[in-house]
């Protein structure tokens, strides 16, 4: 099969397609023939040698994919619940940037009938990141105000939709006013552009109350400023560091306002925990995926032979959605006898 070579760790490394062995599904796993896979910032960091792969996961990058079930590992019976040839999408610990990937069966989700593979490849990481940090970590409640940073990106756009589906009011934050205006928000939610007087503008937008929860996808030096928008007993879940790893904090604010600040990673969680998160997410989201009230945002797609361009596009930023790689276009396919 074709797949991205494991990174060498060089900061100059670029993704290269090479011939790799088709993985064999272990007990409790399903082999998926990949139709499309999402590209995430973790993939960029891993390619540059700046993100260690969790023990037991594939060294090939790629944290989400869509495709069809090609083989079942030991203990996975046909129809319980996965059938050969069934269209699926998957949350991965790695391995998605290849023509085949072995997936723990509990990390699979059915692809909605009306969806194409690009949408399926854009959903798992965004959907589970949003669910994990709004619900499992953020304990978001109906009618609360939640701030979502990088709200116009692939994860951010889905987090905004999911928060509203959960009954919350959203403060969608991003650098670009133009992309903020493209968001489809309920009348109770608002957009706030980063920049001067940010804290005052958030308080005005929330009618003076401030926000109850921040899901922060960017970190950086403005992290302290975001803390100033929190109500007493407010919560922060720090998910990403796109804006940098350093910030100077006034710790007395955390004490006075009794703030709850936590960090959260999805990839580092155990397969058992990921399985539980996927099941909870699907219970809530499935009817909303079917009726179109929850939709992943695909900004750009590239054939696998141009995967380096896909990585470059994500690195350049400003896309307003997910970057997806297509594996079904015109690539040479692996020997199907290898998965019999």
Question: What is the reported pLDDT for 114?
Answer: 96
Question: What is the arithmetic mean of pLDDT over 293-304?
Answer: 96
Please determine, for residue 336, whether its predicted confidence score (pLDDT) is greater than 70.
no
Q: Are 15 and 61 in contact (CB under 8 A)?
A: yes
Question: What is the arithmetic mean of pLDDT over 253-271?
Answer: 95
Please determine, for residue 3, whether its predicted confidence score (pLDDT) is greater than 70.
yes
pLDDT per position as a tens digit, 241-251: 988 999 999 89
**Over pLDDT 70: what percentage of the chain?**
95
pLDDT per position as a tens digit, 65-79: 999 999 999 999 888
**Domains within the chain, CATH numbers bracketed:** 2-123+296-339 (3.90.180.10), 132-263 (3.90.180.10)
Name beta bridge partners: 31: 71, 102
Question: What is the reported pLDDT for 335?
Answer: 44
CA–CA distance from 49 to each of 14, 40, 59 (Å)?
A: 11, 15, 11
Least confident of 26-35, 138-147, 292-301, 315-324: 315-324
Distance CA 10, CA 5 (A): 13
Question: What is the arithmetic mean of pLDDT over 254-264?
Answer: 95
Query: pLDDT band at residue 338, thresholds of 50, 70 and 90?
Result: very low
Nearest to 320 by CA among 142, 122, 163: 122
Question: What is the reported pLDDT for 176?
Answer: 93
Question: What is the reported pLDDT for 318?
Answer: 80
Question: What is the reported pLDDT for 301?
Answer: 97
Question: What is the reported pLDDT for 10?
Answer: 60
Please determine, for residue 181, whether its predicted confidence score (pLDDT) is greater than 80.
yes
Distance of CA 233 to the CA centre of its chain: 27
Distance CA 288, CA 306 (A): 33
Please determine, for residue 139, whether its predicted confidence score (pLDDT) is greater than 90.
yes
Nearest to 167 by CA among 188, 149, 148: 188
Question: What is the reported pLDDT for 12?
Answer: 58
Please determine, for residue 274, whether its predicted confidence score (pLDDT) is greater than 80.
yes
Question: What is the arithmetic mean of pLDDT over 107-127?
Answer: 98
Tokens of 151: 């709200």
Handedness of CA 34, 127, 310, 112 (dihedral sign): positive
Question: What is the arithmetic mean of pLDDT over 310-335?
Answer: 80
Distance of CA 303 to the CA centre of its chain: 21
Mean of all residue pLDDT scores within the chain:
93
């Amino acid at each position: 099969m074709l797949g991205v070579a494991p990174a060498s760790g060089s900061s100059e490394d670029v993704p290269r397609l090479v011939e790799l062995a088709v993985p064999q599904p272990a007990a409790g796993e399903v082999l998926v023939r990949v139709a499309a896979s999402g590209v995430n910032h973790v993939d960029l960091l891993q390619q540059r040698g700046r993100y260690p792969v969790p023990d037991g996961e594939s060294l090939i990058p790629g944290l989400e994919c869509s495709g069809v079930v090609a083989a079942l590992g030991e203990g996975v019976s046909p129809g319980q619940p996965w059938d050969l040839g069934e269209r699926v999408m998957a949350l991965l610990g790695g391995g998605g940037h290849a023509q085949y990937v072995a997936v723990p069966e509990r990390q699979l989700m059915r692809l909605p009938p009306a969806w194409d593979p690009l949408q399926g490849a854009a959903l798992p990481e965004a959907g589970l990141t949003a669910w994990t940090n709004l619900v499992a970590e953020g304990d978001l409640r109906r009618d609360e105000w939640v701030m979502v940073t990088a709200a116009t990106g692939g994860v951010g756009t889905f987090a905004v939709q999911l928060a509203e589906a959960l009954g919350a009011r959203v403060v969608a934050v991003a650098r670009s006013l133009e992309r903020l205006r493209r968001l489809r928000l309920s009348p109770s939610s608002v957009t706030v552009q980063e920049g001067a007087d940010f804290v005052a503008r958030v308080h005005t937008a929330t009618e003076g109350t401030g926000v109850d929860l921040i899901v922060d996808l960017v970190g950086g030096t403005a992290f302290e400023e975001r803390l100033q928008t929190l109500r007493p007993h407010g919560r922060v879940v720090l998910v990403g560091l796109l804006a940098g790893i350093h910030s100077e904090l006034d710790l007395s604010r955390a004490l006075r306002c009794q703030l709850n600040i936590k960090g959260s990673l999805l990839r580092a969680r155990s397969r058992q925990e990921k399985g539980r998160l996927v099941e909870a997410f699907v219970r809530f989201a499935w009817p909303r995926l079917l009726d179109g009230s929850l939709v992943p945002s695909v900004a750009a797609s590239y054939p696998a032979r141009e995967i380096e361009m896909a990585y470059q596009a994500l690195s350049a930023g400003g896309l307003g959605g997910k970057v997806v790689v297509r594996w079904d276009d015109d690539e040479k396919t692996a020997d199907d006898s290898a998965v019999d």
